[in-house]
Amino acid sequence: MAMAAPGQLNVNESPSWGSRSVDCFEKLEQIGEGTYGQVYMAREIKTGEIVALKKIRMDNEREGFPITAIREIKILKKLHHENVINLKEIVTSPDGNKYKGGIYMVFEYMDHDLTGLADRPGMRFTVPQIKLLTGLHYCHVNQVLHRDIKGVLLLMPSKDTCSNLLIDNEGNLKLADFGLARSFSNEHNANLTNRVITLWYRPPELLLGTTRYGPAVDMWSVGCIFAELLHGKPIFPGKDEPEQLNKIFELCGAPDEVNWPGVSKTPWYNQFKPTRPMKRRLREVFRHFDRHALELLEKMLTLDPAQKGQDKLWICTCCLCRFFLVGNMSRSNLQANTATLAGICIFHNSLKHSIWLPSADSSHIILYAL
Amino acid sequence: MLAMLQVHAYYEFSPVTAFLSVNYFDRFLSRCSLPQQSGGWAFQLLSVACLSLAAKMEESHVPFLLDLQLFEPKFVFEPKTIQRMELWVMSNLKWRLRSVTPFDYLHYFISKLPSSSSSQSLNHFFS
């Protein structure tokens, strides 16, 4: 779907939304299951283009057309970004009654998800990491919470738990599966459900029952994935909610009114509060990580959601920028640490709408405005 | 139509939801005609479907389809029927449910107002 130039009406936009039949596509194989439907790899018969077809499941009669599908379509039509999956069109299946049959969403086809690629030895994750943050930041600027970012899941090889981060053969990463996503608005601060995000990537504020939350929930997920990629396995593989919280406390320390003002007022704090004092062991456990990666991780895995991206970060960002711009500009250093830098720049408020990326030959850093 | 707004008020939906549901209603009728001699059930079915779609677009909590038919004792539709109507509406609107409403411009205009004594100028603006 092309965007019109400023001052022009968008008259070129495809008129075919919802009007074509799924028969225009030839299903090749089932490639997975999303939050609420099967996903097929398919070929468009006319053009030969390979696409992904996601069938919208309509089991729950009481609510009619599923609200998750409405939200996913609404959000995907709003977002146009190279690191967010592109919804091409919607097609219907004509079997029998036209308005009874299946509804399919047509996406661009992506070759891999993060699950498959993480197994490859020698795979570098700096670039996907930046892309993830770029795509996610774009969502947040547009007031969309993804609420289901999940990573490698090496230990859960079942079909419906695959990663939502898709990668094509050119190495482009795209954020997909907006089935749990929703718009948020800073003013309303509405009550949202706390039963979102795959358990391993769910932040402590949701596990403690908070229903007012913001972009910090997605940032926690990114932090978990970041650590997972560097560490080689999921860092918080909890079996259930209590165990999940316990794993978080063991690594990040137990929350109290000092490191997280207001935590004792969260709905389930008394039920889940740690029985013994626990110290933050993040730096100790991940001491083999790059110093700057660790710095970033410290920020992303901060217990108090209100502290993610606050003043302290500004100082740390300044130090890092100076380090990169004035100090060590060697190529290897640069590549290894760009992710860290890009991530930190995103957090830093005055650079909120920009991102730093290495130039093609990695000899210098370019500041991109988003 | 009135019933649609009654239900809207009952659930304290936002003004955008009301605007959108009427928008879908109008746009649908400008493309298709419904059976006139049906005693009005077709229009009522359409209004429930439009309200349900608009609520799903805008609200964070959306009641079940049966609960959207509070004040309408004359006809109560099965969820399955409404779901089919929703699909018919959406395909007729070409899946364009994100209508541009005056609400989209409101914040822009408010931001253009002089910042000092903003409430006064707002009153002036809307009087």
Tell me the β-bridge partners of A173: A167
Q: What is the pLDDT of residue A127?
A: 41
Q: What is the pLDDT of residue B124?
A: 55
Distance from CA of A120 to the nearest CA of B (A): 41
Contact B57 A70 (CB under 8 A): yes
Q: Which residues of chain A fall below pLDDT 70?
A: 1-19, 32-37, 59-61, 81-84, 94-101, 111-196, 214-215, 222, 225-226, 229-230, 232, 290-293, 308-370
- Domain housing A207: 112-369
Q: What is the pLDDT of residue A33?
A: 67
In a domain, A291, yes or no: yes
- Residue B2, pLDDT above cutoff 60: yes
For residues A212 and A253, state if they share a domain.
Answer: yes
Contacts of B97 in chain A (CB under 8 A): 70, 73-74
Touching A: B residues 4-43, CB under 8 Å: none
The residue annotated as part of the active site, out of A95, A113, A119, A148, is: A148
Encode chain A in three state secondary structure: CCCCCCCCCCCCCCCCCCCCEHHHEEEEEEEEECCCCEEEEEEECCCCCEEEEEEECCCCHHHCCCHHHHHHHHHHHHCCCCCECCEEEEEECCCCCCCCCCEEEEEECCCEEHHHHHCCCCCCCHHHHHHHHHHHHHHHHCCEECCCCCCCCCCCCCHHHCCCEEECCCCCEEECCCCCCEECCCCCCCCCCCCCCCHHHCCHHHHCCCCCCCCHHHHHHHHHHHHHHHHCCCCCCCCCHHHHHHHHHHHHCCCCCCCCCCHHHCCCHHHHCCCCCCCECHHHHCCCCCHHHHHHHHHHCCCCHHHCCCHHHHHHHHHHHHHHHCCCCCHHHHHHHHHHHHHHHHHCHHHCCEEEEECCCCCCEEEEEC
In a domain, A2, yes or no: no
Which of A108, A127, A150 is the C-terminal boundary of a domain?
Answer: A108
Structural domain total, chain A: 2
For residues A57 and A80, state if they share a domain.
Answer: yes
Q: What is the pLDDT of residue A20?
A: 77
Which residues touch B49 (CB under 8 Å, ≥6 apart)? Answer: A64, B82, B85, B86, B88, B89
Contact A62 B94 (CB under 8 A): no
For residues A168 and A123, state if they share a domain.
Answer: yes
For residues A44 and A175, state if they share a domain.
Answer: no
Instruction: Give the domain CATH number at A199.
Output: 1.10.510.10
Contact B91 A18 (CB under 8 A): yes
For residues A43 and A181, state if they share a domain.
Answer: no
Contact A99 B53 (CB under 8 A): no
In a domain, A138, yes or no: yes
Q: What is the pLDDT of residue A143?
A: 53
Contact A62 B79 (CB under 8 A): yes
For residues A151 and A269, state if they share a domain.
Answer: yes
For residues A85 and A126, state if they share a domain.
Answer: no
pLDDT tier for residue B11 given thresholds of 50, 70 and 90:
confident
A103 touches chain B (CB under 8 A): yes
Which of A83, A108, A133 is the C-terminal boundary of a domain?
Answer: A108
Distance from CA of A27 to the nearest CA of B (A): 22
Calpha distance A27→A44 (Å, rounded): 9
Q: What is the mean pLDDT of residues B91-107?
A: 79
Helix (H, G, I), strand (E, B) or coil at B69: coil
For residues A130 and A56, state if they share a domain.
Answer: no
Q: Which residue has the higher pLDDT, A324 or B52?
A: B52
For residues A52 and A170, state if they share a domain.
Answer: no
- Residue B104, pLDDT above cutoff 60: yes
For residues A87 and A101, state if they share a domain.
Answer: yes
Q: What is the pLDDT of residue A162?
A: 43
| A299 marked among binding-site residues | no
Touching B: A residues 110-129, CB under 8 Å: none
Q: What is the pLDDT of residue A339?
A: 41
B89 touches chain A (CB under 8 A): no
Which of A58, A79, A108 is the C-terminal boundary of a domain?
Answer: A108
